[in-house]
């Protein structure tokens, strides 16, 4: 029962494009708070992938992009590669809870 809702899993073949949705509400994404995305490879710590809705930290390939509209956000990955297989989490801030909030995470499988 995460405040931000993500699909539990998505999959795609190498070279394809996949998107991961993150649905919030009027007290978090819809209130204008930024959405951030993290990639967690198996057995490792999370890594910042996208910040401020659509900004990539240095070193993150431009195959990764983020967008936000209304009470939702999306992470798109183009040119899917085997090393993209990981868990992806969205994150924002919720003003009614006064809490940082995460999505439940989405497992990406590269077929």
Partner 1 sequence: EVQVVESGGGLIQPGGSLRLSCVASEFTVSTNYMTWVRQAPGKGLEWVSLISSGGRTYYADSVRGRFTISRDDSKNTLYLQMNSLRAEDTAVYYCARTSTRYYMDVWGKGTTVTVSS
Contact positions vs partner 1 (CB under 8 A): 2, 33-34, 36, 38, 40, 44-48, 51-52, 57, 87, 89, 91-93, 98-105
Closest CB to partner 1 among 13 and 45? 45
Asked if 11 and 108 count as a contact pair (C-beta separation under 8 A), the reply is yes
Closest CB to partner 1 among 13 and 59? 59
Residue 25 Cβ, how far from partner 1 at the closest point, in Å?
16
Closest CB to partner 1 among 45 and 82? 45
Asked if 86 and 109 count as a contact pair (C-beta separation under 8 A), the reply is no
Q: Which helix (H) or strand (E) segment is 39 a member of?
A: strand 36-40
- The closest of 77, 91, 79 to 20, measured between CA atoms, is 77
């Amino acid at each position: 029962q995460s405040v931000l809702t993500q699909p539990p899993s998505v999959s795609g073949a190498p070279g394809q494009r996949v998107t991961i949705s993150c649905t919030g509400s009027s007290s978090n994404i819809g209130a204008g708070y930024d959405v951030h995305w993290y990639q967690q490879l198996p057995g490792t710590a999370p890594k910042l992938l996208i910040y401020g809705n659509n900004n990539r930290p240095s070193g993150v390939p431009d195959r990764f992009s983020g967008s936000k509209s209304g009470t939702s956000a999306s992470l798109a990955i183009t040119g899917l590669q085997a090393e993209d297989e990981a868990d992806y989490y969205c994150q924002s801030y919720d003003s009614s809870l006064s809490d940082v909030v995460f999505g439940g995470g989405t497992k990406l499988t590269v077929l």
